[in-house]
């Protein structure tokens, strides 16, 4: 009999791509705001309601729910939403499986590489480093704390937190947003362009989640980031190279981004490097560790 996996954040890029893989070996269910298919179950985080039948026989939960960090300007209301969508959603799941007396084999939670703070430094952060002190770091700390409760309260044998870098996919996310201007020959780096951009190919992030499910030795936090570091300037340049487009426009000044995006601009103008060593020590092998090869795979189909 197949293990049953419940996935939150059903509409997101990772959930869509990951579920295609897992459906061959597992029974996959989704928690979603509006049910469209038989394997979907409704929940409402704001109203604290959830279809408890989704949990019957569940052995693993992959918690991917969370409002998009870069979708809207960070008003006070938006900041609350960014935290609530991650923390309150986990709390609702926790209370439900507590009430139903379920003990999971694993609770695998999305997390963010911004745990270490949004800053450009010479440090290559490892999972042993502490958190930063800005808003995004606060979001990730609260996010991970809500995941840790599942192990602390003996509701899961393992809790794995996947500190995710910028996921490269032509279908969604940062890369998709960068493509139109570069294709028109008017692409440019942001700010100094020297800020690091931790990144990972969509196939590799899905493989990390799959490893987290299958490898019982995986527990705790893991940086989900390519071992090859890059800057915003270099990423922009490599995309243009792969698309065979010129890149001659000046960088977008930081003050312009701050006028448009407010505090969110800091996440675009600053960025650190993070180490992939811990995930590699589990035996995980990146399919796309090289940026140019990753971009060629995504953009030359």
Query: Domain ranges in the chain?
Result: 4-167+200-225
In angstroms, the CA 51 to CA 14 distance is 23
Catalogue the E-assigned strands of the chain: 4-7, 27-32, 40-44, 49-50, 58-63, 104-112, 124-125, 156-164, 166-168, 199-201, 220-224, 273-274
Q: Are 132 and 115 in contact (CB under 8 A)?
A: yes
67-115 pLDDT per residue, tens: 998 888 899 999 999 999 999 999 999 999 999 999 999 999 999 999 9
- Say whether 215 sits in a helix, a strand or coil: coil
What values do phi and psi take at 224, rounded to 5? -100, 85
Per-residue pLDDT of the chain (301 residues; tens, 9 = 90+): 789 999 999 889 999 999 999 998 999 999 999 898 899 999 999 999 999 999 999 999 999 999 998 888 899 999 999 999 999 999 999 999 999 999 999 999 999 999 999 888 999 999 999 999 999 999 999 999 999 999 999 999 999 999 999 999 999 888 998 998 899 888 888 888 899 999 999 999 999 999 999 999 999 999 999 999 999 999 999 999 999 998 877 888 786 877 777 887 787 778 999 999 999 999 999 999 999 999 999 998 6
Q: Tell me the CATH number of domain 4-167+200-225, given options 2.60.40.10, 3.40.47.10, 1.20.200.10, 3.40.50.720.
A: 3.40.50.720
From the list 187, 204, 213, the residue with the least C-alpha distance to 280 is 204
């Amino acid at each position: 009999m197949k293990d049953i996996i419940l996935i939150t954040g059903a509409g997101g890029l990772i959930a869509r791509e990951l579920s295609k893989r897992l459906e061959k070996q597992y029974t996959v269910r989704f928690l979603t705001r509006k049910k469209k298919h038989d394997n979907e179950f409704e929940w409402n985080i704001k109203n604290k309601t959830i279809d408890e039948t989704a949990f019957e026989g569940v052995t693993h939960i992959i918690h991917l729910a969370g409002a998009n960090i870069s979708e809207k300007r960070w008003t006070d209301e938006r900041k609350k939403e960014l935290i609530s969508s991650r923390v309150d959603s986990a709390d609702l799941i926790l209370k439900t499986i507590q009430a139903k007396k379920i003990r999971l084999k694993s609770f695998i939670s999305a997390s963010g590489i911004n745990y270490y703070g949004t800053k450009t430094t010479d440090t290559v952060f490892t999972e042993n480093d502490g958190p930063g002190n800005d808003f995004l770091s606060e979001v990730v700390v609260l996010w991970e704390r809500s995941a840790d409760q599942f192990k602390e309260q003996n509701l899961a044998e393992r809790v794995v937190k996947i500190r995710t870098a910028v996921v490269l996919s032509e279908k969604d996310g940062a890369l998709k947003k960068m493509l139109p201007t570069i294709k028109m020959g008017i692409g440019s780096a942001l700010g100094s362009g020297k800020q690091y951009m931790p990144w990972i190919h969509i196939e590799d992030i899905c493989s990390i989640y799959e490893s987290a499910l299958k490898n019982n030795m995986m527990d705790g936090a893991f940086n989900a980031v390519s071992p090859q570091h890059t800057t915003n300037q270099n990423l922009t340049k490599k995309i243009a190279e792969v698309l065979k487009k010129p890149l001659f426009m000046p960088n977008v000044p930081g003050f312009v981004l701050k006028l448009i995006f407010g505090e969110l601009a800091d996440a675009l103008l600053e960025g650190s490097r993070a180490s992939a060593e811990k995930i590699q020590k589990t035996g995980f092998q990146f399919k796309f560790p090289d940026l140019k090869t990753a971009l060629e795979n995504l953009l030359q189909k």
